């Protein structure tokens, strides 16, 4: 704003200087030169120091610009110079409609057209038609600039509630984080989720859901402190960022928001920004707190005030250390063909042997890595190691197993992800057709646009995709048709219930049939007993994984397994047989 306003002042000064010099030595030329000098000084000062000026002073600066232009019009030695001087008013219209809200901009336009109309009309030699043309031009500039600004800002708006959307929020939050980093004031963020919103949608239709979202947004907006940014983050989730607020202050604000919508159940996760943190990391912690709020019974707010986890620093160090001393490694669990028992693939599973605490579960350190921006490095490490190990196994045994690797949502949203996958494959000499990326359905749902685009692009290069843990959370059968996937991994809980629940068994049969119709290969996870394996066989499930066949082990364990279950042929990995077209 400072640079543009200062620049327009300087451009105006140059224009008036030209007019004044051309009119020299006629009467009035000296006034034009004085106006040019004043505008030049103001322009230079605003360009250099304007960033430190409060926003309201710009209203004064723009109004003063109009006054200088009006002086030019009145003092101009001839009618042509007067009209040319009035044309500089376009700068004022442009600046006002670019930077100010509608009300401020319209007030500036009113002052501009009034001052110039009076100035031009006071000169009997300027025809009234010229005055009207000048006013029309200024009005047109204002309308076009205002329209463009409105259109640009609507890209970051949610059309239903009029709040910022996810994109608008990310931009605004990143700005606030930068400001807080510079000034050192605290900043907090919150995620607010309407409880049982699905029931509102199901009961009263989407119109009822939309009404609720609009009414909540409408009541929250005036209840927010100055400077706060509230956004609809998607679905029934709202995001809030509060500059100049510590975690406890933000918690109080969120409780206040709960009070203004009595009768609406609300779960909130609140967190205070930590120095060095990105907006994504901050919001992930807010998301973690929201998760805890929902898990502990909904209708409450949770402040994420846990201090830094010492494991984070240790995991960071492990990732920075060479593979020998890091304690990080990869174990593999066999995937077998149910009918023959033959090993057809392996799933790579991250392992971390902590120097003092011993083996850490990935269920503990993977979310930690996700929350602290370490997952890209961890995922890359696992992928590179796994491609290397499997390529080596292939060289030793001649067997090409299918390799499946777990991928986190954050990785899929990293623009460099597909490049990393390609370079890991190239470095190890592992074929794209023998790699499967496992993603969970909820993750693809949550980050849909970016994640689905990344998966589709990778799949086009020949890599396969598996939907992991299907059957947990809100698995949607309808989504299976639209997700870019080749395999469906049915969650342990399904397998566990197979032999105890006939309903589950029937459901499994339907899922297998439907998956086949969609060209998806089903892999049942968590097979622990021969009865479960037998049931899977009768239900037509082709592939399975579980402690019954193989407990996750270092690559040497896979080699032993291969030797035990010597194949009848060294046939291709399962994906090549069943590649889904397109």
Mask for 252-281, x = binds Mg ion (CB under 5 A): ------------------------------
Q: Whole-number minimum distance, CB 411 to ligand C2E, in Å?
A: 7
CA atoms of 159 and 163, how far apart (whole Å): 8
The Cα–Cα gap between 299 and 301 comes to 7
User: Rule CB under 5 A: which of 486-545 touch Mg ion?
Assistant: 525
What DSSP line would sit under 135-168, residue for residue?
HHHHHHHHHHHHHHHHHHHHTTB-TTT-SB-HHH
Binding to Mg ion by CB under 5 A, coded x per residue (else -) over 400-429, reads ------x-----------------------
Smallest gap from residue 461 Cβ to Mg ion (A): 21
* Residue 413: HSE in the Cβ half-sphere, 13 Å Cα cutoff: 14
Q: Does 441 bind Mg ion (CB under 5 A)?
A: no
**95 near 121, Cβ under 8 Å?**
no
Task: Please report how close the Cβ of residue 428 comes to ligand C2E at its closest, in angstroms.
Answer: 16
As a whole number of angstroms, the distance between CA 311 and CA 292 comes to 20
Could you say whether residue 158 binds Mg ion (CB under 5 A)? Answer: no
- DSSP secondary structure letters along 457-518: HHHHTT-EEEEEEETBSS--HHHHTTS--SEEEE-HHHHHHHTT-HHHHHHHHHHHHHHHHT
- Per-residue x/- track, 213-252, ligand C2E (CB under 6 A): ----------------------------------------
- Distance in Å, CB of 212 to ligand C2E, minimum: 34
Which structure tokens are listed for 481? 């048709």
Residue 362 binds ligand C2E (CB under 6 A): yes
| Closer CB to ligand C2E, 245 or 465, in the complex | 465
- 379 contributes a contact to ligand C2E by CB under 6 A: yes
389 binds, among ligand C2E, Mg ion, none (CB under 5 to 8 A by kind): none
| The entry of ligand C2E, Mg ion, none that residue 408 binds, CB within 5 to 8 Å by partner kind | ligand C2E
Site for ligand C2E in 247-286 (CB under 6 A): none
Binding test (CB under 6 A) with ligand C2E, winner from 363, 449, 564, 568: 363
Supply the minimum distance, in Å, between the C-beta of residue 399 and ligand C2E.
Answer: 21
* Residue ranges in 492-551 that form contacts with ligand C2E under rule CB under 6 A: 492, 525-528, 545-547
CB of 468 to ligand C2E, least distance (A): 5
Question: What tokens does 306 get?
Answer: 């846990």
Q: What's the token pair of residue 158? A: 């949610």
- Spatial neighbors of 28 by CB under 8 A, at least 6 apart, are 75, 76, 77
Say how far apart CA 286 and CA 269 lie, in whole Å.
5
To the nearest whole angstrom, how small is the minimum distance from the Cβ of residue 558 to ligand C2E? 14
Q: With the CA atoms of 477, 483, 489 and 492 taken in that order, what torsion angle do they form, in degrees rounded to the nearest 10?
A: -50
Cis peptide leading into residue 478 (ω within 30°): no
Min CB(579)–ligand C2E separation in Å: 23
| Nearest in space to 31 (alpha carbons), one of 19, 42, 44 | 19
Query: What is the size of the binding site for ligand C2E (CB under 6 A)?
Result: 24
* Listed ranges 113-121, 250-258, 435-443, 572-580: which one lies at the site for Mg ion (CB under 5 A): 435-443
Task: Pick one of 161, 469, 494, 521: the residue that binds Mg ion (CB under 5 A).
Answer: 469
User: Would you give the DSSP letter of residue 360?
Assistant: E
Of residues 271 and 333, the one with the C-beta less far from ligand C2E: 333
If binding is defined by CB under 6 A, does position 552 make contact with ligand C2E? Answer: yes
The reply on whether position 438 binds Mg ion by CB under 5 A is: yes
Neighbours of 118 (CB within 10 A): 13
Under the binding rule (CB under 6 A), the answer on residue 361 touching ligand C2E is: yes
SS3 category, 284: helix
Residue closest to 40 by CA, chosen among 24, 25, 20, 57: 20
| Residue 486 partner contact from ligand C2E, Mg ion, none using kind-dependent CB cut-offs of 5 to 8 Å | none
1: Cα separation from own chain's centroid: 27
CA dist list (Å): 572 to 396, 537, 568: 17, 21, 12
Residue 530 and residue 360 in contact, taking contact as beta carbons nearer than 8 Å: no
Per CB under 6 A, the list member of 190, 279, 336, 366 interacting with ligand C2E is 366
Q: Is 409 in the site for ligand C2E (CB under 6 A)?
A: no
Q: Which of residues 417-456 bind ligand C2E (CB under 6 A)?
A: 438
Residue ranges binding Mg ion (CB under 5 A): 406, 438, 468-469, 525
Residue ranges binding ligand C2E (CB under 6 A): 333, 349-350, 361-363, 366, 379, 382, 406-408, 438, 468-469, 492, 525-528, 545-547, 552
């Amino acid at each position: 704003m400072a640079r543009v306003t200062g620049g327009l002042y300087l451009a105006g000064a140059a224009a008036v200087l030209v007019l004044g010099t051309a009119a020299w030595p006629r009467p009035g030329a000296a006034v034009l030169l004085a106006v040019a000098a004043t505008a030049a000084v103001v322009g230079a000062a605003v360009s250099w120091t304007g960033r430190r000026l409060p926003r309201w002073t710009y209203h004064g600066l723009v109004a003063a610009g109009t006054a200088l232009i009006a002086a030019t019009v009145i003092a101009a030695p001839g009618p042509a110079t007067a009209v040319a001087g009035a044309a500089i008013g376009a700068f004022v219209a442009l600046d006002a409609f670019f930077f100010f809200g509608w009300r401020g901009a319209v007030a500036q336009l009113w002052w501009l057209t009034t001052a110039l109309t009076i100035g031009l009309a006071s000169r009997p030699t300027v025809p009234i038609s010229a005055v009207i043309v000048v006013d029309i031009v200024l009005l047109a500039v204002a309308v076009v600039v205002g329209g463009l600004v409105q259109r640009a800002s609507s890209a970051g708006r949610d059309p239903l509630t009029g709040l910022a959307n996810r994109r608008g929020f990310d931009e605004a939050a990143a700005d606030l984080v930068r400001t807080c980093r510079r000034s050192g004031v605290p900043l907090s963020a919150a995620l607010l989720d309407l409880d049982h919103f699905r029931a509102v949608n199901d009961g009263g239709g989407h119109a009822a859901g939309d009404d609720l979202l609009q009414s909540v947004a409408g009541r929250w907006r005036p209840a927010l402190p100055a400077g706060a940014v509230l956004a609809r983050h998607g679905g029934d989730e709202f995001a809030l960022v509060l500059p100049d607020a510590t975690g406890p202050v933000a918690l109080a604000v969120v409780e206040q928001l709960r009070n203004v919508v009595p009768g609406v159940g609300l779960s909130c996760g609140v967190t205070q920004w930590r120095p060095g943190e990105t907006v994504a990391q901050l919001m992930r912690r807010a998301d973690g707190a929201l998760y805890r709020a929902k898990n502990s019974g909904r209708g409450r707010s949770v402040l994420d005030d846990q201090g830094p986890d010492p494991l984070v620093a240790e995991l960071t160090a492990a990732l920075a250390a060479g593979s020998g001393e890091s304690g990080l490694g990869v174990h593999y669990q066999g995937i077998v063909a149910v009918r023959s028992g033959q090993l057809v693939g392996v799933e790579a599973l991250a392992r971390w042997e902590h120097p003092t605490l011993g083996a850490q579960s990935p269920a503990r350190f993977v979310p930690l890595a996700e929350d602290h921006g370490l997952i890209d490095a961890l995922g890359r490490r696992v992928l590179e190691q796994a491609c290397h190990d499997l390529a080596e196994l292939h060289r030793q045994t001649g067997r090409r197993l299918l390799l499946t690797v777990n991928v986190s949502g954050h990785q899929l949203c990293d623009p460099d992800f597909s490049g990393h996958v390609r370079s890991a494959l190239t470095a190890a000499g592992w074929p794209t057709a023998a790699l499967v990326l496992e993603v969970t359905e909820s993750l693809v749902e949550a980050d849909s646009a970016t994640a689905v685009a990344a998966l589709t692009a990778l799949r086009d290069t020949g890599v396969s995709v598996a939907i992991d843990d299907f059957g947990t959370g809100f698995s949607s059968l309808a989504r299976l048709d639209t997700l870019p996937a080749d395999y469906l991994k049915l969650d342990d809980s399904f397998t566990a219930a197979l032999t105890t629940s006939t309903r589950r068994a029937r459901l499994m049969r339907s899922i297998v049939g439907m998956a086949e119709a969609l060209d998806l290969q089903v892999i049942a996870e968590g097979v622990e007993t021969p009865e479960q394996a037998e049931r899977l066989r009768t239900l037509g499930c082709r592939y399975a994984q579980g402690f019954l066949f193989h407990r996750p082990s270092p690559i040497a364990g896979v080699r032993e397994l291969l030797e035990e279950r010597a194949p009848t042929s060294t046939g291709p990995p399962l994906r090549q047989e069943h590649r889904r077209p397109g």
